[in-house]
Amino acid sequence: MATVLAESNSAVSPRDSAVPEAVVVRFAGDSGDGMQLTGGQFTLSTALAGNDLATFPDFPAEIRAPQGTLFGVSAFQINFGSTDITTAGDAPDVLVAMNPAALKTNVQALKPGGLIIADTGEFTKRNLEKAKYEVSPIDDGSLAKWDVLAFDISALTMESVKPFGLSNKDALRCKNMWTLGLALWMFERDRQPLIDWLKDKFKKNPLLADANIAALNAGHAYGETAELSGPIKQVHMEPVASPPGLYRTVTGAESVSYGLVAGAQLAGLKMFFGGYPITPASAILHNLVKMKEFGVTTFQAEDEIAAICAAIGASYAGQLGVTSSSGPGIALKGEAMGLAVMTELPLVIVNSQRGGPSTGLPTKTEQSDLYQAVYGRNGDAPIPVVSCRSPGDAFDCAIEAVRIAVQFMTPVILLTDGYIANAAEPWKVPDPKNFAPFPVSFLEEKNGDVVLPYKRDAKGVRPWIKPGTPGLMHRIGGIEKGIDTGAIDYGSDVHQIQTDARKAKIDGVAKSIPAQEVSLGTSSGRLAVVGWGSTYGPILQAVRRARAKGQDVSHIHVRHIWPLPSNLGDLLKGYDKILVPEMNTGQFKTVLRDQYLVDAKPLTKTSGQPFTIAELEAAIEGELA
Amino acid sequence: MNDMTPIKVETTLKDWETDQEVRWCPGCGDYAILKAVQRTLPELGADPAMTVFVSGIGCSSRFPYYVESYGFHTIHGRAPAFATGIKLANPELDVWIVTGDGDGMSIGGNHTMHILRRNLDCQILLFNNEIYGLTKGQYSPTSRLGTTSPSTPGGSVDRPARPAAFALGAGARFVARGFDVSKNLPQVLKAAHAHKGAAFIEIFQNCIVYNKDVFDDFAAPKGAEAQQLWLQHDEPMLFDKGTKGLRVNTDHLHLDVVDVVDGDWQAAGVIVHDQTNRALAHMLIEMPFGPFPMALGVLYDDPRPTFEHELLGQDAKLVEGKVADLGKLLAKGQTWTVEAGGPDL
């Protein structure tokens, strides 16, 4: 049975008598082992226990990579605690490794002294070979700097589900629930919500539900009863101090979908979503199909181009057109975005960024589509760009994108990324009544002697005219158009005037957005760390730690990438140094330098993994040295 | 919704003309097609406010600017996708797509295929002039083998796409053919409009600058009538003033041209056109011109439920009895409550 192999040598592992403020657990296994599901359910239990948390699902691009291989490892990391959590955690305290490949690909991330829980049932000769181990790492002392709890989870699971008479294959598939049971015991989590969930999930096959529940209970009982003198011990974590209210967990893909629906409701519009399957953006389509009672029509188009064109068609016909994709798909949509700029129709384009160029890293995160969003079209085609910093923030950002689109008759790009899309965090459920409506009005009568589709208002915005409105027939298109009338006009003066008008209109969006604030720190000083998107969490924590050490550093997080907040330039000039961490080769840095002639210094990372707090702390240290 | 009979509106040809100067080359076949459409719309009782012309890029795609209705001149090849969004957003609109052989068969071939198989209710007018006109005369996907052009000085070597065959292959439920100066074109347009679903019309159109008179063998204003087989549902397939007809050769499953003596087409074995017969439509479309006449008019017309009817109908059923409560939606799933009076942040 259980063998505790390594000497305990940890100062930070959960068995420490001092109660930690936060713990990072990583579940890693074969992509067929159900690690994402295990992580997701552990997340829910943790949220229900009142801890703050952040997660990082990290999985291969292949749906079923060959079993036991290094590239087939799927991992799910969760950072949770009784304090404010903004990242999925730098290094895990606990690594659950369901096979040798999972151990090999993840163990180096584990904190020294951290705990490894490994299923020896999978450490067979064949699996060791697949993971390129010559001898079992459990036996050769190579794991000495960690605590190892290695035992045959496979056999224990088989034993626990024996009464149900499942096939070997089905029985072994309950392994993840056994492991989850143990994890729930370790962190004093309630099993009931999970039991309810299993009953619901397998309601058509109660036998499988019972077997999985039995495995879960067995794992839990194992923790309770096994005489583990070694590294494993229960950890009690106090709930986080959160503002009162109703909470749930939310992923970025969910909150973007909710935000788009909420935005359409606030605008008083029906919403049309045109999409084409692409990782990691498809989840938004999957969510929206369940929200049709909110006047949502979803259309899975034949390609990315048709998806955006249909959305523009719907906007032309008076609905809120929305499309969503990831970098390669956004590239295909480029020409149509230009048409939306030219015809001045509202549209929201969501980009769930992933590693590029080309197909790049479909399931890994990156922020390398900023140039594409801000600059990536033919002609002078300015488009407002809003970026989300976290799953919860994506809700507000989506509403903001809708507001700008309909108030300024323009396409708007909403940047999120693979990390935000898949990660979950606790979310204080917003009250829709707290959002100010921004109802849209369509032109109903002639706005001149004849209808003038391009007659601009004080903000430079043209009227929205729905086909079907009597007496307002007119033609629009991608060719340059005459002042007010919109009739084809290639004249050089006209092109100058209309180019200027399109630019001025988008520049004017800056007047409708909040002034840039300092997220943490002071409005001037030695160093500003300027970030955007999902680097918010690690930057905030790194700046917090640096400031706790007495360092003069502030954090500025920018939501509106284009146009930038009007006061940002002045604000930046109040710091001696500016550091811009980004998961790309320095794209936002370029925009800041261009716009403000400031010496913004890049800190870049393109490994497909988010920044760690430690990396950023070190960079801050370096700047202030 | 989709099943509502649109209100007929009284208009004249003049009501469908815009104040825009028409900018096609003098003598272009597009003028004739524009006139045919503008003549047909009043006959349909069409309402300019409920009519939308959508186009892509190319000579033909300038069409919407000249029709006094709603119009959207979009980007190259994508008109079907825009039309899909328009129709799904407002199924009551009467949507016409104007495209060309380059726009609809080359850069936009994918969208042409999908709008046809989905069967969106609209009329698709594909002006086939077998050349790229607006870019100054390069050969197009429908150009005949050996077409010399600025991009194929030695003659084109790739075999042409055939729009009507493509449409039928893509699953179209209405396929028709006409040509620019034909007096029968309005009739074909009317049949297309009467068809609920995607109605595809290939209109042979004379580009007088870059591909002059290539259709003269069957479309010349005078003297080519003998080469035109105008199909009529339930009528025998006769041409050349009723002296010739088509017969099905059942031994080898193809069509034969037969002589009809004294109008006795039954004796000659001439078949009667059944526009709902898909196999027959394939044969008519595949018929090589030369040994056979050009099959014109409605080749195939067999409606099926439209895309917007099916999709929006399904949505309507899905949401039946559901209340759109945003607060409830946001609080979906497992939730927990943090009570007031806890520790301050």
In chain A, what residues touch B65 (CB-CB under 8 Å)? 475, 477, 487-488
CA dihedral B142, B145, B147, B153 (to 10 degrees): 120
Q: Which pLDDT score is estimated for A230?
A: 60
Asked if B134 reaches chain A (Cβ–Cβ under 8 Å), the answer is: no
Taking Cα atoms as reference points, which of B220, B36, B69, B66 lies closest to residue A469?
B69
Across the interface, whether the CB atoms of B73 and A274 are under 8 A apart is answered: no
For residue B85, the distance in angstroms to the closest alpha carbon of chain A comes to: 4
Considering only CB atoms, A477 lies closest to which of B52, B72, B322, namely: B72
The percentage of residues in chain A with a pLDDT greater than 70, rounded to a whole number, is: 96
B223 vs A348 pLDDT, higher one: A348
Structure tokens at A613: 């707090």
State the virtual CA torsion across A375, A381, A382, A388 in degrees, nearest 10: -60
Secondary structure of chain B: what % helix, strand, coil (to 5)?
30, 25, 45
Contact: A306, B90; criterion CB under 8 Å? no
pLDDT for B4 equals 57
% of chain B beyond a pLDDT of 90 = 93
**Do the chains contact at A477 and B65, CB–CB below 8 Å?**
yes
Cα A237 to chain centroid, rounded:
26
Residue B34: what pLDDT?
98
Residue ranges covered by each domain of chain B: 13-214+305-317
Condensed to tens digits (0 to 9), the pLDDT of residues A22-61 reads 899 999 999 888 899 999 999 988 988 888 999 998 888 7
Q: Model ipTM?
A: 0.97
- pLDDT grade for A6, boundaries at 50, 70 and 90: very low
Q: In which residue are the tokens 């606030």 written?
A: A266
Taking Cα atoms as reference points, which of A587, A588, A586, A584 lies closest to residue A556? A588
Give Dmax over CA atoms of chain A in angstroms. Answer: 90
Three-state DSSP class for residue B163: helix
Express each pLDDT in B168-217 by its tens digit: 999 999 999 999 999 999 999 999 999 999 999 999 999 999 999 999 99
Quick one: pLDDT at residue A14? 37
| DSSP 3-state percent helix, strand, coil across chain A (nearest 5) | 40, 20, 40
A460 CA: distance to closest CA in chain B (Å)? 22
Determine, for residues A316 and B86 on separate chains, whether the beta-carbon distance falls below 8 Å. Answer: yes
Q: B4 by DSSP, 3-state: which?
A: coil
Nearest CA among B95, B86, B6, B1 for reference residue B312:
B1
Query: Could you report the per-residue pLDDT of B16-51, keeping only the tens digit for each?
Result: 999 999 999 999 999 999 999 999 999 999 999 999
Q: What is the pLDDT of residues A553-584, one digit of tens each?
A: 999 999 999 999 999 999 999 999 999 999 99
Task: Choose among A314, A430, A488: nearest Cβ to B330.
Answer: A430
C-alpha count within 13 angstroms, C-beta hemisphere, residue B53: 28
* Cβ pair B76, B41 in contact under 8 A: no
Question: A194 to chain B: nearest residue by CA?
Answer: B334
Distance (Å) of CA B200 to CA A363, B70, B84, B197: 41, 21, 15, 10
Report pLDDT for A252: 95
Instruction: For chains A and B, count residue pairs whose Cβ atoms are closer than 8 Å.
Output: 208
**Residue of A42, A296, A302, A402 best to disrupt the B interface, most CBs of B under 10 A:** A302
Residue B256 tokens, joined: 């034969």
* A375-432 residue pLDDT tens: 999 999 999 999 999 999 999 999 999 999 999 999 999 999 999 998 889 999 999 9
Q: What confidence tens digit (pLDDT) does each residue in A436-480 have?
A: 999 999 999 999 999 999 999 999 999 999 999 999 999 999 999
β-bridge partners, B96 = B53, B123
The length of chain A is 625
Q: Is the pLDDT of residue A615 over 50?
A: yes
The mean per-residue pLDDT over the stretch A158-178 comes to 93
Which residues on B lie below 8 Å from A430 (Cβ)?
330
- Find the mean pLDDT for residues B312-333: 94
pLDDT tens column, A196-224: 999 999 999 999 999 999 999 999 999 88
Residue B53 above 80 pLDDT?
yes
With 60 as the cut, is the pLDDT of residue B238 above it?
Answer: yes
- Residues B271, B274, B279, B280, Cα dihedral to 10°: 40
Return the bridge partners of A29, or none. Answer: A74
How many Cα atoms sit within 13 Å of A462 on the Cβ side? 28
Q: Provide the mean pLDDT of chain A.
A: 92
Cβ distance A155 to A197 under 8 Å?
Answer: no
Contacts of A338 in chain B (CB under 8 A): 75
CB atoms within 10 A of CB A200: 9
- B82: its two tokens: 């825009």
pLDDT of residue A59: 83
Residue A493: partners with Cβ closer than 8 Å, 6 or more residues away: none
Angle at B306 between CA B175 and CA B129, to 5 degrees: 30
The band of B340, judged by pLDDT with boundaries at 50, 70 and 90, is confident
**How far out from the chain centre does Cα A265 lie?**
24
Q: Determine the CATH number of domain B13-214+305-317.
A: 3.40.50.970
User: Using a CB-CB distance cutoff of 8 angstroms, which residues of chain B are in contact with residue A295?
Assistant: 324
Site from B90, B93, B95, B325 to mutate, A interface, most A CB atoms within 10 angstroms:
B90
Looking at per-residue pLDDT, the higher value among B334 and A124 belongs to A124
Interface of B with A in 278-337 (CB under 8 A): 311-312, 315, 318-319, 322-324, 326-327, 329-337
Burial profile A69-98: b = 16 or more Cβ within 10 angstroms, e = fewer = beebbbbbbbbbbbeebbbbbbbbbbbbbb
Cα angle at A197 between A192 and A201, to 5 degrees?
Answer: 150
DSSP string, A595-617: HH---EEEEE--SSSPPPHHHHH
Cα–Cα dist A334/A330, whole Å: 6
Q: Is the pLDDT of residue A227 over 60?
A: no
Q: Are B88 and A299 within 8 A, CB to CB?
A: yes
